[in-house]
């Protein structure tokens, strides 16, 4: 493998979309949304990509069957984003270097943002870099917690956040660059001791930092990347924005 590996989390159903389709196959401007994510990774020179599938895995594999340099990894139980990454352990064990982890339901992911994160990752020799942005309405998203010096201190999921943490506006958009060795070590330490009883990938940056590695949260994502799709209303908004951007 080259020194850049991509992981696209694509196992979810998307229960609020009122359809039996896997969420990542919902059409955005007439095209299943996961294709935009894969295109952005390819434009960022990430040739080898693992796609984590789960709900109706057969449909996702069929849709993506003509694309090159993809490997499908099945998450048989939906136990969180950390667990979705854990199922890639076998492939990660063969890799050295940068691992870019994104979600398959973020069709406005920009290749330029991924390249900026990768460039900083290599310059800083970091254990983890995550892309963030400030959002006027951060509802439903994990908040970035910083210490008194402004350095990254962790990510707290909204369901686990205190009232003060919910007031934070810098959010995690699930766009990560990990050092592969550090990611594997952090995955080994993940716990499901939280309100959702899930394994959170968002715990990995904190674990990597606690191991003495540098972790940076960079508010470099573009405003359009703040748009995620969880409902049909979200879908309509993203389609409108994509048309504005000339997709």
How many whole angstroms separate alpha carbon 3 and alpha carbon 200?
25
Per-domain residue ranges of the chain: 4-245
- Region 145-173 average pLDDT: 95
Fold of 4-245: Spore Coat Polysaccharide Biosynthesis Protein SpsA; Chain A (3.90.550)
pLDDT digits (tens, 9 = 90+) for 97-142: 999 999 999 999 999 999 999 999 999 999 999 999 999 999 989 9
To the query of whether residue 89 is one of the catalytic residues in this protein, the response is no
pTM above the 0.85 mark? yes
For 16-70, write each residue's pLDDT tens digit: 777 889 999 999 999 999 999 999 999 999 989 999 999 999 999 999 999 999 9
Assign 2 a pLDDT band (cuts: 50, 70, 90): low
Q: Kindly state the helix (H) or strand (E) to which residue 50 belongs, with its residue range.
A: strand 48-53
Angle among Cα 77, 145, 209 to the nearest 5 degrees reads 70
Which entry of 16, 89, 146, 166 is annotated as an active-site residue? 16
Token digits of residue 179? 């050092």
């Amino acid at each position: 493998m080259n020194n850049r590996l991509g992981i696209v989390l694509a196992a979810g159903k998307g229960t609020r979309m009122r359809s039996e389709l896997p969420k990542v196959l919902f059409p955005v401007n007439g095209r299943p949304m996961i294709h935009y994510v894969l295109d952005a990774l390819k434009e960022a020179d990430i040739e080898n990509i693992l796609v984590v599938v789960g709900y109706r895995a057969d449909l996702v594999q069929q849709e993506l069957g003509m694309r090159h340099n993809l490997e499908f990894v099945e998450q048989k139980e939906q136990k969180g984003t950390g667990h979705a990454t854990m199922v890639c352990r076998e492939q990660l064990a063969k890799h050295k270097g940068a691992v870019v982890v994104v979600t398959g339901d973020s069709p406005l992911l920009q290749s330029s943002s991924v390249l900026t994160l990768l460039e900083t990752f290599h310059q800083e020799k970091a254990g983890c870099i995550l892309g963030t942005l400030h959002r006027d309405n951060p509802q439903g998203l994990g908040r970035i917690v910083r210490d008194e010096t402004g350095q990254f201190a962790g990510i707290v999921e909204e369901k686990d956040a205190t009232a003060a943490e919910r007031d934070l506006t810098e959010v995690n958009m699930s766009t990560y660059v990990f050092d592969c060795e550090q990611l594997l070590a952090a995955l080994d330490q993940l716990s499901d001791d939280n309100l959702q009883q899930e394994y959170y990938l968002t715990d990995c940056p904190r674990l990597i930092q606690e191991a003495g590695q540098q972790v940076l949260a960079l508010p470099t994502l573009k405003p359009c990347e703040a748009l995620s799709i969880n409902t049909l209303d979200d879908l309509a908004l993203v389609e409108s924005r994509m048309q504005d951007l000339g997709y």
